[in-house]
């Protein structure tokens, strides 16, 4: 049997130590890397494409679920945490197990057995299922964008507007724009409907950024944002906007 390439992600050195020590009893499990935070984990997992991820949930900047959202889907995951309230969500994103700290070597061995079975069966998680699990946390509080090795975390209140670009969305926030691989329609369902409104086939506006609406020619209206930029408003978009501003 080939070695199982494993990455340990936990912000506490001692917690990583326990795993390292207990994994020594499993010669088929090879520790490829250890990460102390979510950013590092995203980078390492994307580069190394390990078989198994031992993932803490409560971490600075990016939590375990967010790490999973940002990396490729075909990695087997065991969550390791002191918090029991994420168990249901963990199984929604198809984690093979959920270890509660502190755990015994036997309990870890059991989790590893499940991981071995999943890896052997090449029972990969179908594309999009991770996102589906993630989608339950709505409305979205922040948008995560992976830009090669870098990860940007954008709180939704900092977003000015979103622009559709085929299969991507361009996120405009604080004068910068970021490209996220997701369709505008998908993102629309995840955002707070009291704040974000689809004003046009190609645009979603943060209502807090709207300065005024101008009438261009005939029925064409234009949204003027606080920073002066202009966005077109479609007829149905105007109806939605009016509804929200009522």
Partner 1 sequence: MHPILSDRRRLALYLLGWLPIGLLLTAGLSARTSWPTAAALLLPLSLVFAFMSLNAGYLCRVFPIDARATIWRTVIVQVVAATMVSTIWIAIGAGWVGALNLIAPDLRAGAVFSERRLLLFVIGALLFWLASILHYLLIAFEASQQAERRAIELSLLTRDAELKALRAQIDPHFLFNSLHSISALTTVDPAAARRMCLLLADFLRETLRLGANNRIPLADEFALADRFLEIERVRLGPRLQVTRETDPQATACLVPPLLIQPLVENAVVHGVSQLVEGGTIRIAASRGGPTLTIKVENPCDPDRPRRQRAGLGLDLLKKRVVTQFGAEATVLVEEADGRFRVEVRIPAEVAA
> Taking Cα atoms as reference points, which of 51, 50, 81, 49 lies closest to residue 65?
81
β-strand pairing of 52-55 with 29-35: unpaired
By CB under 8 A, tell whether 142 contacts partner 1.
yes
> Least distance from C-beta 103 to partner 1, angstroms?
8
**Structure-token match 């490209």, residue found:** 179
> Least distance from C-beta 155 to partner 1, angstroms?
5
Please answer whether residues 75 and 45 qualify as being in contact, where contact means their C-beta atoms are separated by less than 8 angstroms: yes
d(CA 192, CA 155): 12
By CB under 8 A, tell whether 83 contacts partner 1.
yes
Helix (H) or strand (E) holding 129: helix 129-134
Q: Between 26 and 124, name the residue whose CB sits nearer to partner 1.
A: 26
**Binds partner 1 (CB under 8 A): choice among 82, 88, 117, 208:** 82
> Least distance from C-beta 42 to partner 1, angstroms?
13
> Taking Cα atoms as reference points, which of 149, 178, 174 lies closest to residue 165?
178
**Binds partner 1 (CB under 8 A): choice among 74, 123, 127, 141:** 141
Query: Interface with partner 1 by CB under 8 A: which residues?
Result: 11-15, 17-18, 21, 36-37, 39, 60-61, 82-83, 100-102, 141-142, 153-155
């Amino acid at each position: 049997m080939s070695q199982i390439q494993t990455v340990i992600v936990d912000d506490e050195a001692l917690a990583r130590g326990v795993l390292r020590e207990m994994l020594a009893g499993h010669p088929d499990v090879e520790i490829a890397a250890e990460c102390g935070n979510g950013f590092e984990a995203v980078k390492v997992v994307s580069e190394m494409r390990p078989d198994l991820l031992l993932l803490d949930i409560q971490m600075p900047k990016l939590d375990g679920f967010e790490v999973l959202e940002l990396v490729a889907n075909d990695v087997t995951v065991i969550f390791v945490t002191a918090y029991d309230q994420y168990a249901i969500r963990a199984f929604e994103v198809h984690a093979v197990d959920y270890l509660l700290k502190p755990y015994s070597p036997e309990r870890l061995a059991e989790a590893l057995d499940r991981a071995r079975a999943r890896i052997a069966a090449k029972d990969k998680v179908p594309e999009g299922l991770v996102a589906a699990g993630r989608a339950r946390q709505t409305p979205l509080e922040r948008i995560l964008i992976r830009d090669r090795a870098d990860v940007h975390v954008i709180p939704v209140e900092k977003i000015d507007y979103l622009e559709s670009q085929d299969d991507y969305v361009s996120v405009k926030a604080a004068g910068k724009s970021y490209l996220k691989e997701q369709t505008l329609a998908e993102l629309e369902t995840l955002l707070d409907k009291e704040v974000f409104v689809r004003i046009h086939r190609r645009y979603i506006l943060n209502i807090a950024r709207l300065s005024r609406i101008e009438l261009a020619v005939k029925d064409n209206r234009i949204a003027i944002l606080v920073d002066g930029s202009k966005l077109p408003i479609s007829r149905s978009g105007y109806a939605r906007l009016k509804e929200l501003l009522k």
